[in-house]
A = this chain, B = another copy of it.
Amino acid sequence: MKDKIMQTSIQLFGKKGFTETSVQDIVNEIGVTKGTFYYYFTSKDELLAMIHYEFINNILDKQEEVLNNPNIDSKEKLDQIVKVLTYEIKHSAQSARIFFREMRHISEEHLAKISPKRHQFRKNLEKLVTDGMANGEFQEHVRPDILSYAILGITNWSYFWYDPSGPIKEKELAEGYVEFILKGLLK
């Protein structure tokens, strides 16, 4: 039941927004009453925090799996991470929307568990860039932190506009991103 509530909430929060989705909406969808909701969650807030936590935990795991692979170079790691992100934004579209859009509704208390993971994810990417520079794969023209934010911007922005049923296929999108990130625009 707890999981059912979470999955239903992800769909509703993603579609209509956190504030715009009432607890009543959620329990109506499942066919139970509000009492049930508060039996499993102490607040709407906590539910949102859990959704965030599961999402960041999942992509952080996948990212670290790539980063810990000793058999591939920085370029290949970057390639795989971009693909992971694009995959998640497509296949967990509603979770991604919630993650990028509704962070502001999470209380200080819950942020304490989520923010470090968010930060870790970004820092890991920055370290990958730094490492790639150190081993001569990447240019050293720009601050690694800026580069990490730029790469995240490219992928994360997809949640804002990307329509899986539109003309751009997931594979083409991810490969386009990688190509652009690696080679830039100039001839």
Contact = CB atoms under 8 A, between A and B. Distances in A.
Interface of A: 16-17, 19-20, 75, 78, 100-101, 104, 129, 132, 136-139, 141-143, 145-147, 149-150, 152-158, 160-162, 168, 172-173, 176-177, 179-187
Given A177-B146, A180-B184, A157 B153 contact: yes
A76 to B, nearest CB: 12
Nearest to A20: B19
Contacts of A137: 186-187
Contacts of A179: 141-142
> DSSP class of A's interface residues: helix, strand, loop or mixed?
helix
Contacts of A184: 180-185
Contact of A142 (B75, B161, B180): B180
Of A154, A180, A185, chain B has the most CB atoms within 10 Å of the CB of A185
Contact of A136 (B20, B160, B182, B187): B187
A172 B143 contact: yes
Contacts of A150: 154, 157, 176-177, 180
Contacts of A75: 185-186
Contacts of A16: 104
A86 to B, nearest CB: 11
A139 B149 CA distance: 23
Contact of A153 (B145, B156, B172): B156
B145 A183 contact: no
Nearest to A142: B176
A176 B137 CA distance: 18
